[in-house]
């Protein structure tokens, strides 16, 4: 990959204002702390265009900020057909978005689409619930899940790199 980028990761939810920007922000913080931000390219998107161009939900911003994560620079966008070619890991927050991605993705790239919580190690849930219509606790729960899955994802990416250097 060019410019030292070894992995490209896209986080996907429905509207790209709650879960996926939270995941992008948390993972961005994690890789910065590890000094890996130059080797991993991140983005987030939604399967729908409801909020294109808008900032993350203020409740998501506040919850993330309480954990030292700034997502105020992010803007919602819809998944594009080019994303399926560009990104190595396309991580869906729930089964509905996973199904939408699989429907839109060219067959040759479908193996890139995974459930984000498949990387979680300490939570049995397989979906990051949409906190949009709930209260503040929903955003805290999302952060708990996202932090766990982000650590597992980083381990998986590190294992990929280790396997590549052995090959």
**Catalytic annotation on 130?**
yes
**Domain boundaries in the chain?**
2-166
pLDDT at 3: 74
Alpha-carbon gap, residue 120 to 148, rounded angstroms? 5
Give the CATH number of domain 2-166: 3.40.50.2300
Residues 6 or more apart whose Cβ sits within 8 Å of residue 134: none
pLDDT at 1: 45
Residues 6 or more apart whose Cβ sits within 8 Å of residue 88: 7, 8, 9, 112
pLDDT along the chain (167 residues), means of 10: 83 98 98 94 97 97 98 98 98 98 98 98 96 92 98 94 63
Alpha-carbon gap, residue 17 to 132, rounded angstroms? 9
pLDDT at 166: 63
**Catalytic annotation on 28?**
no
Q: Which is the catalytic residue, given 43, 57, 83, 130?
A: 130
Q: Which is the catalytic residue, given 18, 19, 88, 112?
A: 19
Alpha-carbon gap, residue 118 to 152, rounded angstroms? 9
Alpha-carbon gap, residue 119 to 96, rounded angstroms? 18
**Catalytic annotation on 13?**
yes
* Model confidence pLDDT, tens digit, residues 80-121: 999 999 999 999 999 999 999 999 999 999 999 999 999 999
Q: How far is CA 104 from CA 17, 22, 44, 92, 128, in A?
A: 21, 24, 16, 13, 21
pLDDT at 135: 83
């Amino acid at each position: 990959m060019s410019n030292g980028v070894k992995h490209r990761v896209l986080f996907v939810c429905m509207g790209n204002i709650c879960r996926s920007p939270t995941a992008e922000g948390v993972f961005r913080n994690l890789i910065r702390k590890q000094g890996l931000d130059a080797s991993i390219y991140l983005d987030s998107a939604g399967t729908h265009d409801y909020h294109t161009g808008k900032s993350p939900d203020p409740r998501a911003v506040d919850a993330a900020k309480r954990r030292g994560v700034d997502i105020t620079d992010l803007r919602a966008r819809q998944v594009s057909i080019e994303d399926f070619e560009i990104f190595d890991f396309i991580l869906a927050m729930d089964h509905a978005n996973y199904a939408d991605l699989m429907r839109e993705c060219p067959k040759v790239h479908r193996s890139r689409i995974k459930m984000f919580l498949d990387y979680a190690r300490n939570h049995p849930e397989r979906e990051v619930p949409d906190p949009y219509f709930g209260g503040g606790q929903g955003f805290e729960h999302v952060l708990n899940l996202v932090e766990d899955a982000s650590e597992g994802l980083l381990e998986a990416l590190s294992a990929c790199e280790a396997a590549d250097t052995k090959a």
